[in-house]
Every structure is written in structure tokens, then in C-alpha cells.
Amino acid sequence: MNLHSSSPYWLLRHGIINSYPSLTTDLKTEIAIMGAGISGALVANQLCQAGYKVVIVDRRHAGMGSTAASTALLQYEIDKPLHQLINLVGEKKAVKGYQLCRQAIFDIKKVCEQLKDPGLFSQKPSLQFASFKKDVADLNKEYTLRKKAGFSLHWLNQESICKKFGFTKPAGLLSQDGAEADAYKITHCLLEKWMARGLQVYDNTEIVTIRHHKHEIELIAANKKKILAKKLIIACGYESQQYIPQKVQELQATYAIASEPFAGKNFWYRNALIWETATPYLYLRTTSDSRILIGGKDILFSNPLKRDSLLTQKAKSLEQSFTKLFPGILFKTDFKWAGTFASTKDGLPYIGSIPQRPHTYFALGFGGNGITFSAIAANIIKDLLAGKKNKDAAIFSFDR
């Protein structure tokens, strides 16, 4: 699957951080992970810490699938507002899902602190504004439910938004718990850290056959080399659908642009993440090298040729949307790219196992929360592998 257009900002900024060989010999391991993006890296981090012998394979170069194109806004708010999610899965599960996403932000922060690179993670507040006056009532409902659930946030009226951010919108929610990340670099830093302690990583290694035996999994690569593992974790992102008998995702196209670097570093209130209530929503963040990154203008199709043919038009539209919000900031696009992403009916990821694939677990993040969902998956799968009951696993199970 073609997951993104050429020239995503993170890939051009960092280039090929590390190189990994392809698989050239047969291997035996405890855990095999398919997918060397941010999801596979976060799962491997947990499992290597727990002492497992782990092998990761990827059909591309590591991190060059969806991870390279991610805009990496870390938020506990999923694509389904809490009041809508409650109607879909019930209040207890919905609130817990939001709380787990919030905890995942702090889990990722700890991971990045251990990697000791200040450019990997930056904690930021998050503003969600009402795109239209008709959205205020639902936003107020959202505020009440989140406050009841214990989240730290403030209601902003039109005057407060104008004072803090410099643009006029009817209302907004300002949350204290958000962050920006560099998913591509985090991926390579984690792989490098654990390779020094025994992790094996192979890219340009496409698994073409998976055989389920009574006590193990056999993976056969395109070059006929084999990996025997006690357990398999599929963390191939949106390409994982081929391993699941029922349809669990809807593919969409999304667009992003990054500005030229600015001389200053402060653009609006604490350089908060900014997003809106409209669907599809526009979102903004800053970068550690003083750029502004804008994303959105999603379309409900995934054909890569059609997706990429609209890139210039969509980039111009994103620029125009930014200028409407911040007419005093001269935005000049330096990078533009398109990507494919997937959503689910309830906005939640799929984590866990299915009967059709014994000895196999899935770590699948979706929508705008793929990275936080991957951190949740890493914790759940670690428990399941250890034979522990994870009380939160049912929220994300395939039979929910």
C-alpha cells in the first residue's frame, strides 16, 4: 500500500537515521513483530524491557510507512467526542478510553526522557474551538462530561480565545494535557537503544506467508527465509487489514504542510495544539525548529494517485485556512505531503487477538490518535503475553 506522497517533512528533516539489514538467514525467537514504525517500536520497547527476545521485520525501511508522514499531535481526545463515544460504547468504557489516552501521553513522555533527546517530545496545552455557533452546545456538553471525568480543562469564551490566541471563535476548550512528538525519530531511537541489548531489526523484508502451528508461528519472507516465533504481533498499521477476516477500518486521505522556519519561536498562547469541531477538522502545531505545521482537509478515498494529484490544491487550501485564523503571520509553505490513514466506527483502535490467528496479537492505532493508541497497545499486549488479565483490553477488543 502506498501510504504517503513523497517529501514528508520528518523524513526530509532527518533522512535515514539508521540502517538495518534485510533478513538473510532463518531465525528463531520468542516474539516476532511485523512493522518497524512507531507502533512496532513502542511495543518492542515494552517487551524488551520485560526481557523477551524480539525480532522486528518491515517490508519497507524502518519508520518509512505512516510514521514518516505522521503529524504527531498527542491528544487524549479521540476523533469521536466523549459525548458521542458514550452513546456508542457506554459511559464507563468511553471515559476509560479517554483516560487511557491521557495516560499514554505521559507514558510516551517517560519513554522520550529515557532516550535523552529534547527534540523528541514537548508537552503542550491543546485548544479545541467551536468552528461554528451551532457547535457551542455540543462543546459545552463535552466540557461538562470531561470535567466530571476529572480532566483538567477550561472553558474559553469568544473574548478569552481572542485574548490568548488572537482570532475570534465562539467558544473553546483549553486542555492542559497534550504534546507534540517526532514519531519518526522516536522510532529510530527506540530501535537503536534496544538493538544494543539484543533486539534484531530487519527491513526490506516482506513477509508473504504466515503459518500457524500448534505451539508457534512461522513467518516466511519473500526470499524464502523463515522466522519461527512463539508469538507474533502485527503492528503494520493500515496494512494490517489483510490479516483480519472482518473489515475494521475505513481508509481516508489527509494532507499536511509545514512552513519555512520563523525567526521567532512564540506564535500564540504557549504554542498550544489547535484543532476544531468541524469534520474533517483543521489542526495546527509547532515544531522544534520554529515551523508551523498544519493538517486536515481529509477526503474519503485512498487511491494514492488521486490523493497525490490533489496535493497542490489542498496545500493552498490549508494555507488559506491558516491565514483566516492568523492574518498577521506570513505562512510560506516549505513542505507539503499527503497520507493515507484509517478510522473505525467508534474511533477506537483494535488491540488483542482473534480466533482465526492463534498465537497472534494486533496493535492497531487509528485516526488522529495512532501514537497514543500504540502506547496503550504496548501495555495491554505486554500483560496478555505474561498471562495477566488486563481490565482495559475489552474496550479495544475485536468482538466489542
Tell me the pLDDT band of 2, cut-offs 50, 70 and 90: low
Across the range 335-353, mean pLDDT stands at 94
Q: Is the dihedral of CA 346, 294, 1, 58 positive or negative?
A: negative
Across the range 123-131, mean pLDDT stands at 98
Between 102-111, 202-211, 302-311, the lowest mean confidence (pLDDT) is in 302-311
Q: Does the pLDDT of residue 238 top 90, yes or no?
A: no
| Average pLDDT over all residues of the chain | 95
Tell me the pLDDT band of 341, cut-offs 50, 70 and 90: confident
Query: What are the residue ranges of CATH 3.50.50.60 in the chain?
Result: 9-69+184-248+347-396
pLDDT tens column, 278-290: 998 999 999 999 9
Q: Does the pLDDT of residue 301 top 90, yes or no?
A: no
Tell me the pLDDT band of 302, cut-offs 50, 70 and 90: low
Of 155 and 303, the structure prediction assigns the larger pLDDT to 155
Closest by alpha carbon to 138, among 190, 198, 189, 87?
A: 87
Q: So what's the pLDDT on residue 145?
A: 98
Q: Does the pLDDT of residue 3 top 90, yes or no?
A: no
Q: Which residues of 10-26 are buried (b: 16+ CB within 10 A; e: fewer)?
A: bbebeeeeeebeebeee
How far apart CA 129 and CA 275 sit, in angstroms, is: 7
How far apart CA 110 and CA 103 sit, in angstroms, is: 11
Which option is the CATH number for 9-69+184-248+347-396: 3.50.50.60, 3.20.20.70, 3.40.50.300, 3.40.350.10?
3.50.50.60
